[in-house]
Amino acid sequence: MIMFLLILLFIAFISLGLPDALGNIAWPLMYLDFSVPLSSSSLLFLPAMLGGIISSLIAGRLIKKFRPGWIIAISCFLTSVGMLGISFAPSVPFVILSALTLGLGAGGVDATINDFVAKNFTAKHMNWLHACYGIGTTIGPAIMLYVIQTTGTWRAGHRTVAIIQACLGVIFILTIGIWKKTAPALKERRKQNALKLNPEDVIPASCANPKKAIARQVMAFAVYAGLESIIVTWGTTYFNIGLGNELILSGETATVYFFAFVVGRILAGFIVNRIGLKRIVFIGISISFVGIIMILLSSFSIYFGMIGMALIGIGYAPIYPCMMQQTPILVGKEASSVVIGYQMAVSNLCFTLLPFVTGLFGQYISLYAIPVVLGILAVTFFFIKVVPEFDNCRKESSIVENNPSNT
């Protein structure tokens, strides 16, 4: 029964990824339909981001009052309504309102499932959950391209995904009883998961500082959101316009990144419980830093850039899900629902704002600033997230040595 529930959550995360990639494919047709400038794609993305921030902040409190199944089901319906609204939108204001609704639904699904998996499953499952999101962002564009080719309109693509979201909402309502039936087994599972934690990931009460932990976690999520969003937003542009490579070849670097990203999360799921959350985040950011150096060398050859994008994809892959899994450990299960909401709200904000700021550097200074900004953010992440946690490990070792009876 628990595995069936987990599979449902995996499917929900595939579905969560579907709408996120549709806008990039549909916008070249959408802006013509609504007679707006090509550069005004923020009409679609900013309201969705705002909706995601609002629902992420609210979800933490709703989780304490309602069963996750109900929140996920309602959120799926909100996402479906938003997608349908965009598909039937007669004007720009209707698109903005629908995108806001879409963001509210997607943020609710995202925050609720992340919180549930972080509390009841292991880092392995969290990495595989986020790999499912990557699968969704891969399938979404394929659906949109197929629908455009067969129907000649982008609107049918949004309707198709809206139907998928609505069906998922119905499935969660029909299976709502499973959440209550599995509650005792999940309680026992939480106890077992606590025993399976890598010793380095366990924080003794004497070393715990919830306020500092929350501040570091939120800042780390903000910086990581910048790292991921900049490479997604500006990677192809850097190789194409910045370095003068062909568009198709430059676009292939993005394909390499996303493929490495999904594969990295799947592989991380197999090793994270043995290596530990702290170490795998350290390994991930270190690999990505090597990738950034390779991108700096890509002015000599685009293939350095290909290797760099692959390394960045593999390096980034486990960071977000592992940090999400760490949250209940760092701040406690009672506070984790609200803190996860904060983390996701800040991530959504920085995912939108930091690429914009980086674009200003690229426009007014040079596109070569893009890998430099990535390098600065990677170093910042290292000192915000990695260094303090390994410092805690040294403190823990010192406590154990000075108090052998505690062992």
| pLDDT tens figures, 49-102 | 899 989 988 887 888 888 889 999 999 999 999 999 999 999 989 999 999 999
Choose one of 195, 223, 245: the last residue of a domain. Answer: 195
- Copy the structure tokens of residue 241: 């316009």
In eight-state DSSP terms, residue 21 is T
DSSP letters spanning 369-404: HHHHHHHHHHHHHIIIIIHHHHHHHHHHHHHHHH-G
Q: Residue 117: helix, strand or coil by DSSP?
A: helix
Q: State which of 27-41, 213-227, 304-318, 352-366 shows the largest mean pLDDT.
A: 304-318
Percentage of residues in the chain having pLDDT higher than 90: 40
Residue 407 pLDDT > 50: no
pLDDT in tens, 177-213: 888 888 888 778 776 766 565 555 555 444 456 677 7
Within-domain flag for 294? yes
pLDDT at 98: 95
Which residue would you say has higher pLDDT here, 333 or 225? 225
In a domain, 57, yes or no: yes
Let me know whether 213 and 190 are in one domain.
Answer: no
Examine residue 142 and state whether it is found in any structural domain, yes or no.
yes
Q: Which amino acid is at 198?
A: N
Q: Supply the CATH number for residue 312's domain.
A: 1.20.1250.20
Q: Are residues 126 and 12 in the same domain?
A: yes
Q: What is the pLDDT of residue 399?
A: 43
Q: Which domain does 216 fall in, by range?
A: 209-406
Joined together, the tokens standing for residue 336 give: 């984790």
> Is the domain of 28 the same as that of 119?
yes
Q: Cα(98)–Cα(169) distance, rounded to whole angstroms?
A: 18
Angstrom distance (rounded) from CA 390 to CA 4 = 37
Please report whether residue 203 resides in a domain.
no
Domain count, the chain: 2
Whether residues 263 and 187 share a domain: the answer is no
Q: How many other C-beta atoms lie within 10 A of the C-beta of residue 342?
A: 18
Q: Are 316 and 344 in the same domain?
A: yes
Residue 162: the pLDDT is: 95
Same domain, 265 and 175: no
Residues 182 and 329 in one domain: no
In angstroms, rounded to a whole number, what is the distance separating the alpha carbons of residues 143 and 266?
23
Judge contact between 231 and 374, C-beta under 8 A.
Answer: yes
Question: In the chain, pLDDT over 70 holds for what percent of residues?
Answer: 89
Do both 162 and 233 map to the same domain? no
Residue 204 belongs to some domain of the structure: no
- Which of 195, 229, 256 terminates a domain? The answer is 195
Higher-confidence residue of 286 and 211: namely 286
What's the distance, CA 83 to chain centroid? Answer: 20
The confidence score (pLDDT) of residue 158 equals 93
Residue 24 has pLDDT above 70, yes or no: no
The DSSP element (H or E) to which 328 belongs, if any, is helix 319-331
Report which of residues 60 and 279 the model is more confident about: 279
Q: How confident is the model at residue 216 (pLDDT cuts 50, 70, 90)?
A: confident
User: Are 142 and 246 members of one domain?
Assistant: no
- 139-153 mean pLDDT: 86
The dihedral built from the CA positions of residue 136, 124, 183 and 341, taken in this order, carries a sign that is negative
Is residue 356 situated within a structural domain? yes
**312 and 235 assigned to the same domain:** yes
- Say yes or no: 177 and 221 in one domain: no
What's the token pair of residue 227? Answer: 């790292």
221 and 184: one domain? no
The long-range contacts involving 208-211, CB below 8 angstroms and separated by at least 24 positions, are 210/330, 210/331, 210/332, 210/335
Where is pLDDT greater, at 259 or 331? 259
**Lowest pLDDT segment from 9-18, 166-175, 380-389:** 380-389
CA distance 362 to 369: 6
Mean pLDDT of 34-55: 81
Q: Identify the domain boundary among 142, 172, 195.
A: 195
Model confidence at 12: pLDDT above 80: yes
Which of 150, 117, 154, 144 minimizes the C-alpha distance to 132? Answer: 117
Q: Determine, yes or no, domain membership for 200.
A: no
Is 267 part of a structural domain of the chain? yes
Residue 342: the pLDDT is: 86
Element at 404 (helix H, strand E): none
